[in-house]
Amino acid sequence: MWGSEYEIVVTTHLNTDNIHNHMVVNSVSFRTGRKFENHISDHYRLREISDEICRERGKSVLEHSNFYGGEKSAYWIHKSGKQTHRDMLKADIEECLKYSRRYDDLIPRLRGLGYKVERTGEYYRHLTVQAPDWKRPVRLDSLGYTPEALVARFEKQEVDFYFLRLQSEHRTYKPKQFPLESVMKQLEFEAEHSYDTATILVDTLFLIVIMVAELLAELADVMLLSPELRFEVKNVQNYISDYEFLRNNDIHTIPQLEQHTEEIKKQIASLEADRQKISNKIRRAKTPEETAKLKILRKEITKKITPLRKKLRHAQRILEKSPHLYELLRQEHHIERAQMKVSEDRFR
């Protein structure tokens, strides 16, 4: 299929319950020098060939199966250790269902967590849930929470002897304290000050997340209202590491972080150039002693490059996540301000 254009290595795994092949393609054609284009049509053609070979040898094939077991974007989000909106929503639904025995219990609990809940169709046939910063709502039945499944869960709670006691101990969350607002006042930091990333104090963003996490750990009856930020704060150890990196390198703004990144790249490039010169000398070395001496020098340079590359990766990660973190904090601030206004109007 590709062998006339590209070099291919095919390996067959026999050490699992399902025999399967792995294919490694040299992405540059040895005949034309063109880049390999990985089209979905090639995947289907490859499957046809593979299935034909399997059938000839009496092996079973997967008829009409999909290439991806879900959304492709979700696959890469999970692979990076993060969660999709649907993952976050499912976790929150499960938490709310623990203390619900009817729709009138479930819906206020979801709204208490910052979600907007809408009903389309009679008898709660299509419940849709959306967080304030999500572009589109999610239907509960698409997550497996059909009316039949929810009613079955409610009925199970109904006959549970201890359920009422459990429910009374975990009442619907009604925000009375606002953790982000409290932290902002401590730092005298205004979330609405600018959309210009050049003026954002990037180290302050990470400090806010750390302080919010500490506040949530201290106060059991306080919660963030943005689902995304709520899940993000669980990774507080990563933010502590990021904050220490910024403080240790005296970085406060995005431009300073960008400049620091460029400086590291220049240091790495300079060291790599020096290492390449030594590699060239190794090829021209006339004695084993000279070769050994040059290799020691090359190793010393590599030891200097390794921590710089680690430092560069850390700086780039912070640079990538900072705008998203800023938006999450800004969104949470808006939600908290709206809830504070509701609370104030209620007591007037």
The tens-digit pLDDT sequence of the chain (348 residues) is: 888 889 999 999 888 877 888 889 999 999 888 898 877 778 878 888 888 888 898 888 877 666 655 566 666 666 666 778 888 889 889 988 888 988 888 988 888 888 888 876 555 677 888 887 788 888 888 888 888 888 888 888 877 778 888 888 777 877 667 777 777 666 555 444 444 444 457 788 888 888 888 877 777 677 787 888 888 888 888 889 999 999 999 998 888 999 999 999 999 999 999 999 999 999 999 899 999 999 999 999 999 999 999 999 999 999 988 888 888 888 888 878 877 776 666 655
Angle at 221 between CA 131 and CA 216, to 5 degrees: 75
Nearest-angstrom CA–CA distance, 69 and 79: 14
Q: How far is CA 272 from CA 19, 279, 281, 309, 327, in A?
A: 43, 10, 14, 11, 38
Q: How far is CA 42 from CA 8, 19, 75, 76, 275, in A?
A: 14, 21, 21, 21, 41
The secondary structure of residue 32, as a DSSP letter, is T
pTM for the full predicted model: 0.60
Domain ranges of the chain: 8-56, 85-169, 175-348
Angle at 294 between CA 290 and CA 298, to 5 degrees: 170
Nearest-angstrom CA–CA distance, 169 and 235: 27
**With contact defined as beta carbons under 8 Å apart, do 183 and 208 qualify?**
yes
In the block, residue with structure tokens 């998203």: 324
Strand segments, DSSP code E, in 14-89 are: 20-25
